[in-house]
A and B are shown apart, each in its own frame.
Chain A
Amino acid sequence: DVKVTQSSRYLVKRTGEKVFLECVQDMDHENMFWYRQDPGLGLRLIYFSYDVKMKEKGDIPEGYSVSREKKERFSLILESASTNQTSMYLCASSTREGRGGNQPQHFGDGTRLSIL
């Protein structure tokens, strides 16, 4: 089974701190994703990466950056945390096929981040 591991289940940080959320997958997946999930807003894509050192902005990239130095690891960085970044953060990965492409995204358990 695919395993996507997020470094923390719960995290509390202070306004202005630089926050790192880590995600590791063990299935050699090319694609990795960071979402935030808020009640009534569903899942919103922050950033994604389809290869090492490659990244693309999602729908709400402002205030965030990402790093993918190794294929298995995708980090989300809050440069200067603010209270409106309090949320559930979900990491996901998927494989990239040459054709087909119905391979689903596999999710981690999520990190509930509180910014005080």
Chain B
Amino acid sequence: DAGVTQSPTHLIKTRGQHVTLRCSPISGHKSVSWYQQVLGQGPQFIFQYYEKEERGRGNFPDRFSARQFPNYSSELNVNALLLGDSALYLCASSPEGQGPYNEQFFGPGTRLTVL
């Protein structure tokens, strides 16, 4: 079975631009979560979606938004990019939707660089 896939692998943007990151969960997984990992830090939670509904939101500004599609894939959008948005963006899926009490399956990440 294919694992969690993310696209693109790398991305370079300039300040003020908009970016869309994509994630396809493992087949059968209905929950998708997004995390931001700044160099040298652990991942920080951004959003969780389950059955196309937002179930959780981390402490990120409104410039960050996401959605989940009927096929359970997901997009993370970031507007008005800042230098500080440069990070590895990780997507994780799991079969359950009532919280990440169980194993999360992570994708390889999208490395975003903002110049």
A-B complex is real: no
Give chain B's interface residues, CB within 8 Å of chain A. Answer: none
